[in-house]
Amino acid sequence: MNELDKIPVRQEISVAQGSVKRSNPLANVFDELVRFCQSRSMFMLHYCTGCGAIELPPAMTSRFDMERLGIQPMVTPRQADILLITGYVSVKTLKRIILTYEQMPAPKYVIGICSCTVNGGMYWQSYATAKVLKEYLPVDIYIAGCMPRPEAVISGLRDLMGDIKSGSASNWKRYFQNYDHYLGNQQKLFDEDWQTPTDIIAEAEHYGLITDQTLGEHTALLQKHQQPLEALEFSLGEKREKIRGENQ
Amino acid sequence: MSKELNLWLDDLLKDIKIIQFKRKNSRRVRIDIAPEALPALLELLQGRASYVHLSAISCVDWIEENEFELVYHVWSYETNSLVSAHTRISREPGVYLSVYDLYTPAAFFERDIHEMFGVYFEGSPDMEKFILTEWNGPPPMRKDFDSEAFVNQTFNWEEYHPQWLKDIEAEGGGITTRPEDVR
């Protein structure tokens, strides 16, 4: 077994295992293999917010062909790894982005494309556009440009792949670890009674990522304004009768 | 045929004393009209001259004159021409009549103008929030709404010269062309 000890083992945090470094060197090798496989099979959520989305079809299809790197578009957040924010984020869209992001299973990665996600871009004066995306979500990689060419998009995705392979792409954990901070920024922009259907605190518990930053004054507000879910009323019959009554 | 119709319409509209008539080219006419007379003009154009298509209602905020300018663009498929009827209403209280009874699509435009400028249209079917459902501030397209001040008050900004850029610059890289150099 002496040969095994000579195998260089990386010290970075394993994506699959959280911050716990495994004592078995073979397990570390296995983790590395898992990370390599993860980085070569990424599903990109097909959700586009602004003009930068126009660079994605050529990046995905035959001209630049992202699929050769193992990146494919996926239509539902439940089955996707990457969330691309392709352009300006209006306050209304930001709500939907957060809902989408929270639905994605971990590990998940956010890429901010275009200048607008960095600092509002050419919409810096607009009352309706959220400026700094990373205040509301942990962003893994920014691809700046107005708008970046498909080459730049692919280069950014390759950087992300490298980060995943080395295990340093762990920004998604920050959302659980600093949930109070992110929620506070969201509440500042939306309202005090801002709610999402995903229970982030329970998920943080599940991943073992609860820190003293997870809960705080903002999550207390979340619980204060929480309303129990109620079943929707099924009222097709009534409506029909109503329409009938109106016709008569 | 359509050209002749246009000429007849020109003669007709020139005869009305209370409006200012100006033909811009063969397909565009500008009419300036008092707000009391505008619904009557639209009714005349729709009923008698086949201007059946309301393309848009636009609004301009003339804050110095304390007025809103409403522009009704109506299109005729018979004469292939567009009439833009301009009218000015007082900025306070900013209430005007809806033309929903003449043109149904007006509900859409009037709701939008109500949201963006705060002009209230009496008789419009729905004056609720439309696109800015999550906006609680003043109507944002009014000239007295300072968007820049609002943004500076509401949002934080990314640091323009962060540490990582300084690190790159220390290695001889960084921004090659600054905005000042281009302008």
Task: Domain ranges for chain A, please list them.
Answer: 2-6+17-168, 170-227
Task: Please give the domain boundaries of chain B with CATH numbers for all domains.
Answer: 2-131 (3.30.460.80)
Task: Specify the higher pLDDT residue, A97 or B6.
Answer: A97
Is the distance from CB of B121 to CB of B127 less than 8 angstroms? yes
DSSP string over A18-77 = BTPPPS-HHHHHHHHHHHHHHHTSEEEE----SGGGGGHHHHHSTTT-GGGGTEEEES-G
* pLDDT at position A229: 73
Separation CA A113–CA A45 (nearest Å): 14
Neighbours of B159 (CB within 10 A): 11
d(C-alpha B71, C-alpha B86), whole Å: 5
Q: At B6, list the tokens.
A: 């246009």
Chain B residue with Cα closest to A124: B151
B155–A126 CB contact, under 8 Å: no
Q: What is the mean pLDDT of residues A200-217?
A: 90
- Nearest Cα to B87, choosing from B68, B102, B100, B73? B68
Distance of CA A226 to the CA centre of its chain: 23
The DSSP H or E segment spanning B74 is: strand B67-76
First to last CA, chain B: 53
User: What CATH code is assigned to A2-6+17-168?
Assistant: 3.40.50.12280
Asked whether the beta carbons of residue A125 and residue B158 sit closer than 8 angstroms, the reply is no
Dump pLDDT digits (tens) for B145-172.
999 999 999 898 888 788 878 888 888 8
Choose from B152, B155, B160 for mutation: most chain A CBs within 10 A. Answer: B155
Q: Does A195 touch chain B (CB under 8 A)?
A: no
Q: Is the pLDDT of residue A1 over 50?
A: no
Give the integer Cα–Cα distance in Å for B144 and B128.
Answer: 22
Bond before A60 cis per omega within 30 degrees: no
Q: Are the beta carbons of A125 and B148 separated by less than 8 Å?
A: yes
pTM of the model: 0.81
Res. B1 pLDDT band, cuts 50 70 90 = low
Name residue B120's beta-bridge partners.
B95
